[in-house]
A and B are shown apart, each in its own frame.
Chain A
Amino acid sequence: MPNITIEDLKKIKERVQKQDLFRTGEKRVKITVHMGTCGIASGAKDIMDALLDEVTATGVDDVLVTTSGCIGICSREPLITVEERGSDPIIYEQLTPNKMRQIFRQHILAGKVQTEFVMARGREQDRSGGAS
Chain B
Amino acid sequence: MKVFRAHILVCGGTGCRATGSEAIRPALVSEVQRRGLAGEVAVVETGCNGFCAAGPIMVIYPEGTFYQKVQVDDVPLIIEEHIIKGRPIERLMYREPSTDRTIPHIRDIPFFGKQMLIALRNRGLIDAEKIDEYIARDGYMAAAQALTQMTPEQVIQEITKSGLRGRGGGGFPTGMKWSFARKAAGDLKYILCNADEGDPGAFMDRSILEADPHAVLEGMIIGGYAIGARQGYIYCRAEYPLAIKRLNIAIAQAREYGLLGENILGSGYGLDIEVYQGAGAFVCGEETALMASIEGRRGMPRPRPPFPAQQGLWGKPSVLNNVETFANVPQIILKGSDWFASIGTKNSKGTKVFALTGAVNNVGLVEVPMGTPIGDIIFDIGGGIPNGKKFKAAQLGGPSGGCIPAAALNTPTDYEEITKLGAIMGSGGLIVMDEDTCMVDTARFFMEFCQEESCGKCTPCREGTKRMLEILNRICSSQGRDGDIELLEELAYSIKDTALCGLGQTAPNPVLSTLRYFREEYEAHIYQKRCPACVCSGMFTTPCQHACPINMDVPAYIALVRAHRLEDAYRVLKRTNPFPAICGRVCPQFCATKCRRGQLDQPLAIAWLKRFITDNAPRPTVRRVPITRKEKIAIVGAGPAGLTAAHDLALRGYAVEVFEELPKPGGMMRYGIPAYRLSREVIDAEIADIAELGVTIHTGIRVGKDISFDDLLSSHDRILLATGAHRSLPLRIPGEDLQGVMGAVEFLRAVNLDKPPAIGKRVVVIGGGNTALDAARTARRLGAEEVRVLYRRERSDMPAWEQEIEAALAEGVLIDCMVSPVCCEGSGDKVTQIICQRMQAAEFDSSGRRRSVPIPGSEYALAADLVISAVSQSTDISFVPETAGIATAIQGTICCRPQNSTRTSHERVYAAGDAVLGPATVVEAIAAGHQAARDIDEDIRNYNREPPWQEKDIEKIDIPFEVDEETISRPRIAMPELPVRERTRSFAEVELGYDRDSAWREACRCQRCDGNQGKG
Contacts and interface: CB of A to CB of B under 8 A. Distances in A.
Nearest to B126: A68
Interface string B926-957: 00000000000000000000000000000000
Nearest to B262: A3
A49 B1 CA distance: 8
A124 B138 contact: no
Interface in B98-155: 99, 101, 103-109, 111-112, 115-118, 120-121, 123-129, 132-133, 135-141, 144, 148
B106 A121 contact: yes
A72 B256 contact: no
Contacts of A32: 124
Contacts of A118: 103
Interface in B226-242: 240, 242
Contact of B335 (A40, A113, A116, A131): A131
Interface in B22-39: none
Name, among B115, B136, B243, B331, the residue most crowded by chain A CB atoms within 10 Å (CB to CB). Answer: B136
Contacts of B210: 36-37, 69-70
A20 interface: yes
Interface string A49-92: 10001100100000000111111111110000100000010110
Nearest to B361: A75
A127 B365 contact: no
B62 A104 contact: yes
A128 B139 CA distance: 16
A47 B702 CA distance: 74
Given A113-B103, A118-B103, A5 B265 contact: yes
Range for the number of chain A residues in contact with chain B:
35 or more
Contacts of B970: none
A15 B131 CA distance: 13
A71 B368 CA distance: 14
B693 to A, nearest CB: 56
Contacts of A1: 256-258
Interface residues of B, number: 76
Nearest to B125: A68
B339 interface: yes
Interface in A92-110: 98-99, 101-102, 104-106
Contacts of B135: 9, 12-13, 16
B245 to A, nearest CB: 11
Given A16-B135, A36-B210, A91 B106 contact: yes
Contact of A12 (B115, B123, B132, B339): B132
Given A4-B257, A104-B62, A105-B62, A75 B103 contact: no
A67 to B, nearest CB: 6
B103 A16 contact: no
A132 interface: yes
A104 B62 CA distance: 8
A123 B806 CA distance: 39
A57 B362 contact: no
Interface string B1-30: 101010101000000000000000000000
A3 B124 contact: no
Contacts of A120: 103-106, 108-109, 112
A130 B148 contact: no
Contact of A37 (B125, B206, B256): B206
Nearest to B117: A126
B266 interface: yes
A85 B450 CA distance: 53
Interface of A: 1-6, 8-9, 12-13, 15-17, 20, 32, 34, 36-38, 40, 46, 49, 53-54, 57, 66-76, 81, 88, 90-91, 98-99, 101-102, 104-106, 113-116, 118-124, 126-128, 130-132
Given A106-B64, A130-B335, 18 more contacts: A1-B257, A3-B262, A3-B264, A4-B257, A8-B257, A13-B135, A13-B138, A38-B364, A68-B127, A68-B211, A69-B210, A71-B123, A72-B112, A90-B103, A102-B63, A120-B104, A120-B109, A131-B138
User: Top 8 A-B pairs ranked by shortest CB distance?
Assistant: A69-B211, A3-B258, A102-B64, A101-B62, A71-B124, A16-B136, A75-B363, A122-B106
